[in-house]
Chain A
Amino acid sequence: MRFFVRRIIFYLITLWAAITINFFIPRVMPGDPVQAAIAAAGGSISPDAIPALEALFGLDPDASLWSQYVDYLGLLLHGDLGVSFSYTGFAVTDVIKDALPWTIGLVGIATIISFVIGTLIGSGIGWRRGTWADSLLPISTFFSAVPYFWLALLSIAIFSVGLGWFPASGSYDRNMAPNWSWEFVGSVIYYGALPALTIVISSIAGWILGMRNMMVTVSSEDYVTVAQAKGLSERKVLFGYAARNAILPQISSFALSLGFIVGGTLVMEIVFSYQGIGFMLFNAVNAKDYPLMQGCFLVITLAVLLANILADFVYGVLDPRTRQEG
């Protein structure tokens, strides 16, 4: 239990840190871009929303930093992230609520697929060192070095513009109204296939290389040799001993690099104009929609934290040593 308690405390600290960073960024920036933006927006922002924006961005010069901070935390606790400048009249939380499922669906599923397949391939390559499988390494190295968004550009050029197999942008056929019909779900899958495939291809190399190195390290552990000495089948030794233990550090690194991967995949949404959080963040930056920017960052961080907690939980289940008392 102590393991989980420690981790939960850590995540609470991280969440607090992310919120605090978010609080300070607009306050330490030179100039007063938000004030200017509100002025520029003129009457389009309803007067009721102004106090919340002032609290979020520290626009009230009379309030002390501490009282600003308390107000800010109070707003967040109520789920109030202010109103969006660009989506006039909408609260940031509502705007994000519309985008989040798309990101979780695309980035979440693609990342998990990539992790699972990459880990499997990596264990195979690590297990069969010194065979043809090693020749997969240079290819993986190449793919782990290219930026995600460039692969996205390439795949659009080839599969949408060139071959015309997939649409180049969007998340479903705009002629349809979102509903739970097969037709609509099919359209979502059709539009999501290319971005998902691109995410998988660009992030899989990292998992392959990581797992391969862990397999090489774990394979030389004595318990793997003991498993062979016992005459267990190859499959048992590989999945029960070598890969079973190599996956533990792989999960830790999954948790740690999640922030990095999510960052990279969000850019994919931009390239594919996919209506998720990343695309929204991009639009918010371009439109100087500061409340939405801040909100997107907080939600992304929160999502990454939740995924981390999940990874930790899986780790705890897989490694009995973490459940040790004391």
Chain B
Amino acid sequence: MSTLAESRTPRAAASGTDPVLEIKNLSVDYGYDDPTHVLRQVSLTLNRGEVLGLAGESGCGKSTLAYAATRLLPPPGLITGGEVIFTGRDGIRSDILALNDKDLRASRWQDLAIVFQGAMNSLNPVFRIGRQIADGIQAHMPQVTKKEALERSANLLEMVGISADRLRDYPHQLSGGMRQRVMIAMALALDPQVLIMDEPTTALDVVMQRQIVEQIAELRERLGFSVIFITHDVSLLIEIADRIAIMYAGEIVEDASAQDVYRRPRHPYSDGLLHSFPPLRGERRELGGIPGSPPDMRKLPTGCPFRDRCAFVFDACAHITPELVHPAVAGDDHRRSVACLRHEPETVAAAGFTPQPVPDRLALR
């Protein structure tokens, strides 16, 4: 790794916590011949027992990040660089991107399980749900009989609040909320250490969303897995996440504790995103939203990708690409980081521009 890449590692990860999944400088292209660089050197660390929220508008690459890190990105996705280090309970570290097929298969579901977006399409419509939970168990534990696997599946279903006699149902016989619970039960079948949830509640109504989120929180208490929770709904993340990473145009622009992101956003985009959703509870906020639309990933502008939509843009933004750095606000948590030139006065000055101060709105204490 070059020194440049090193300098990009967020400081939050550097603090001596217990990482279970470390994504380092992950780059992903879409298309083989004339690729779009959908992820550019993204780094993100998930600590043991933590719920990490990953938020951003659709198209920002948050799902791509999750699928690339697990090598499940469909063609023509292509991982062009980086490492995804998984640390097992025994402390053995392995790079998921470097595993061969056999080891990767063995690691999947056992170490890291995923709850996919849209549970309707995630379940095979022609098999009973019991069979679909059980085949994952049997793939990793060949000594388990089919009967035992189905018994375990029944327990899992009861754990997520579905009666065991639903085991013989087909997916089309279940409601949307139940299907999502089945997916969660399926993902927990092998007691994985990391659970990636990709928009698990998007297709559900608000009441069901609430129930699912509470269920996940409760299960995490009991089973102690770590979660990467992907959503475009930041207010939901504030409910459930310990830490939140905000993505924009294939890069992480802010990484901080959930409370910090909620009360003291440092990036103009995080600030805008927070004002796009009503909070699920707590005080009312003024809803603003962000003007403009996400950039075309095929032709990103130079400099800061957010500058066209940013209220605090200045001349340097068109020339310098911001890096993830500690925010230039005194007294901030040393683990948080932000990618905005307002927080990088030295870089701006070194490039010959006049540094601009952090606006009050992005310097709340």
In this complex, the member of B70, B75, B122 whose beta carbon has the largest number of chain A beta carbons within 10 angstroms is: B122
B124: which of A129, A241, A318 is its contact (CB, 8 Å)? A241
Residues in A whose Cβ lies below 8 Å from that of B126: 244-245, 248, 318-321
Interface membership of B334, Cβ < 8 A: no
A230 to B118, Cβ gap below 8 A?
no
- Given the interface pairs A321-B125, A321-B172, the reply to whether A230 lies near B75 with Cβ below 8 Å is no
Residues 86-120 of chain B: 1 if any A CB is under 8 Å from the residue's CB, otherwise 0? 00000000000000010011111110011011100
A229 to B108, Cβ gap below 8 A?
yes
* Distance in angstroms between the alpha carbons of A230 and B109 in the assembled complex: 5
Interface membership of A133, Cβ < 8 A: no
A231 to B108, Cβ gap below 8 A?
yes
B139 to A320, Cβ gap below 8 A?
no
* Distance in angstroms between the alpha carbons of A230 and B123 in the assembled complex: 12
* Distance in angstroms between the alpha carbons of A244 and B131 in the assembled complex: 14
* Distance in angstroms between the alpha carbons of A220 and B172 in the assembled complex: 20
- Given the interface pairs A129-B75, A226-B116, the reply to whether A231 lies near B124 with Cβ below 8 Å is no
Interface membership of B158, Cβ < 8 A: no
Residues in A whose Cβ lies below 8 Å from that of B70: 229
A222 to B121, Cβ gap below 8 A?
yes
Residues 233-247 of chain A: 1 if any B CB is under 8 Å from the residue's CB, otherwise 0? 110100011001100
* Distance in angstroms between the alpha carbons of A187 and B114 in the assembled complex: 60
- Given the interface pairs A229-B113, A230-B108, A321-B170, the reply to whether A223 lies near B75 with Cβ below 8 Å is no
* Distance in angstroms between the alpha carbons of A275 and B350 in the assembled complex: 92
A231 to B110, Cβ gap below 8 A?
yes
Residues of B120-141 whose CB lies within 8 A of A: 121-127, 135-136, 139-140
A320: which of B110, B122, B170 is its contact (CB, 8 Å)? B170
* Distance in angstroms between the alpha carbons of A204 and B108 in the assembled complex: 38
- Given the interface pairs A130-B75, A230-B136, A232-B139, the reply to whether A222 lies near B125 with Cβ below 8 Å is no
Q: Which residue of B lies closest to A129 (CB)?
A: B75
Residues in A whose Cβ lies below 8 Å from that of B186: 230
Residues in B whose Cβ lies below 8 Å from that of A228: 72, 108
Interface membership of B74, Cβ < 8 A: yes
A223 to B74, Cβ gap below 8 A?
no
Q: Which residue of A lies closest to B169 (CB)?
A: A320
Q: Which residue of A lies closest to B105 (CB)?
A: A231
**What range describes how many residues of B lie at the interface?**
20 to 34
Interface membership of A253, Cβ < 8 A: no
Residues in A whose Cβ lies below 8 Å from that of B116: 222, 225-226, 229
Residues in B whose Cβ lies below 8 Å from that of A321: 125-126, 170, 172
Q: Which residue of A lies closest to B119 (CB)?
A: A222
A231 to B139, Cβ gap below 8 A?
yes
* Distance in angstroms between the alpha carbons of A321 and B123 in the assembled complex: 13
A233 to B124, Cβ gap below 8 A?
no
Shortest Cβ distance from A249 into chain B, in angstroms?
A: 12
Q: Which residue of A lies closest to B128 (CB)?
A: A320
A222 to B108, Cβ gap below 8 A?
no
A233 to B114, Cβ gap below 8 A?
no
Shortest Cβ distance from A321 into chain B, in angstroms?
A: 6
A230 to B122, Cβ gap below 8 A?
no
Residues 154-186 of chain B: 1 if any A CB is under 8 Å from the residue's CB, otherwise 0? 000000000000000010110000000000001
B170 to A231, Cβ gap below 8 A?
no
A221: which of B105, B110, B121, B139 is its contact (CB, 8 Å)? B121
Interface membership of A227, Cβ < 8 A: yes
Residues of B245-298 whose CB lies within 8 A of A: none
Shortest Cβ distance from B138 into chain A, in angstroms?
A: 9
Interface membership of A324, Cβ < 8 A: yes
Q: Which residue of B lies closest to A231 (CB)?
A: B108
Q: Which residue of B lies closest to A247 (CB)?
A: B126
Shortest Cβ distance from B71 into chain A, in angstroms?
A: 9
* Distance in angstroms between the alpha carbons of A318 and B170 in the assembled complex: 13
* Distance in angstroms between the alpha carbons of A229 and B70 in the assembled complex: 8
Q: Which residue of B lies closest to A219 (CB)?
A: B74
Q: Which residue of B lies closest to A319 (CB)?
A: B126
* Distance in angstroms between the alpha carbons of A240 and B124 in the assembled complex: 10
Residues in A whose Cβ lies below 8 Å from that of B117: 222
Residues in A whose Cβ lies below 8 Å from that of B123: 223, 226
A226 to B110, Cβ gap below 8 A?
no
Shortest Cβ distance from B159 into chain A, in angstroms?
A: 18
B109 to A231, Cβ gap below 8 A?
yes
- Given the interface pairs A231-B105, A231-B106, the reply to whether A223 lies near B124 with Cβ below 8 Å is yes
Residues in B whose Cβ lies below 8 Å from that of A233: 105, 139
Shortest Cβ distance from A10 into chain B, in angstroms?
A: 23
In this complex, the member of B72, B124, B135 whose beta carbon has the largest number of chain A beta carbons within 10 angstroms is: B124
* Distance in angstroms between the alpha carbons of A227 and B105 in the assembled complex: 11
Residues in B whose Cβ lies below 8 Å from that of A319: 125-126
B109 to A229, Cβ gap below 8 A?
yes
Residues in B whose Cβ lies below 8 Å from that of A221: 121
Shortest Cβ distance from B361 into chain A, in angstroms?
A: 40
A231 to B72, Cβ gap below 8 A?
no
Residues of B315-365 whose CB lies within 8 A of A: none
* Distance in angstroms between the alpha carbons of A161 and B103 in the assembled complex: 56
- Given the interface pairs A229-B114, A230-B109, A231-B109, the reply to whether A245 lies near B125 with Cβ below 8 Å is yes
* Distance in angstroms between the alpha carbons of A130 and B113 in the assembled complex: 28
A-B contact pairs, 27 of them (CB 8 A): A129-B75, A130-B75, A220-B74, A222-B116, A222-B117, A226-B114, A226-B122, A227-B124, A228-B108, A229-B108, A229-B113, A230-B139, A231-B106, A231-B110, A231-B139, A231-B140, A232-B105, A232-B135, A232-B139, A233-B139, A236-B135, A244-B124, A320-B170, A320-B172, A321-B125, A321-B126, A321-B172
| 9 shortest interchain CB distances as A-B pairs | A231-B108, A230-B136, A222-B121, A223-B124, A231-B105, A320-B170, A222-B122, A231-B109, A230-B109
* Residue ranges of A at the interface with B (Cβ–Cβ < 8 Å): 129-130, 220-223, 225-234, 236, 240-241, 244-245, 248, 318-321, 324
Given contacts A220-B74, A229-B116, A230-B109, 20 further A-B contacts (CB under 8 A): A222-B116, A222-B117, A222-B118, A222-B121, A223-B122, A223-B124, A223-B125, A225-B116, A226-B122, A229-B113, A229-B114, A230-B139, A230-B186, A231-B104, A231-B105, A231-B109, A231-B136, A231-B139, A236-B139, A245-B125
